[in-house]
Amino acid sequence: MNKITDNQTTVIRTDRGLSVAGTRITIYQIMDCLKADMSAALICERFRLTIRQITDVMEYIKNHHDEVESEYRQILEQAENNRQYWETRNQKRMAEIAAMSPKPGQGEIWHRLQQWKTKLAQSQSGF
């Protein structure tokens, strides 16, 4: 791990995984940005990191590439599994909500909303 001048470690392991010390920012969030070809300066701005912090993180990723990539792939897989779980779990409820009638007194608003949704769908499909 990389040391900074006050003898703290920039990259630490927390219950969230590899993180930037003193923040809730994970190395995996930074990896998302790197995979999206964001510059170090933009990553610093996005997460409010110092140049020293991003330099240490980049060096850590470089020096521990295989380990970081392996953990990053696991995090992505876990996130996808979670997304699929909740999408499946909520599918029935979302269908119930979509089929609900408007509440008393909201019929006119509901009708206008349905018209707007239809127009929006038509404009997106090229009609």
**Number of domains, the chain:** 1
Q: Is the pTM of this model over 0.75?
A: no
Report the C-alpha gap between 118 and 120 in whole angstroms. Answer: 5
> Where is average pLDDT lowest: 22-31, 50-59, 68-77, 102-111?
102-111
Q: Examine residue 118 and state whether it is found in any structural domain, yes or no.
A: yes
Q: Please give the pLDDT value at position 127.
A: 55
Residue 5 lies in a domain: no
pLDDT value at 6 more than 80 = no
Q: Give residue 97's domain range.
A: 11-124
In a domain, 84, yes or no: yes
CA–chain centroid gap for 86, Å, is 15
Q: Which alpha helices (DSSP H) does the chain contain, by range?
A: 27-35, 40-47, 51-63, 65-99, 107-124
Q: For residue 95, is it within any domain?
A: yes
* DSSP 8-state code for residue 5: T
CA dist 56 and 40 (Å) reads: 11
Burial of 27 (0-12, 13-18, 19+ CB in 10 A): buried
Residue 104 in domain: yes
Q: Report if residue 6 sits inside a domain.
A: no
- Within 13 Å of residue 5, how many CA atoms lie on the same side as its CB? 1
Question: Has residue 2 been placed in a domain?
Answer: no
How many whole angstroms separate alpha carbon 100 and alpha carbon 114?
Answer: 13
Residue 28 lies in a domain: yes
In the predicted structure, residue 10 carries a pLDDT above the cut 60? yes
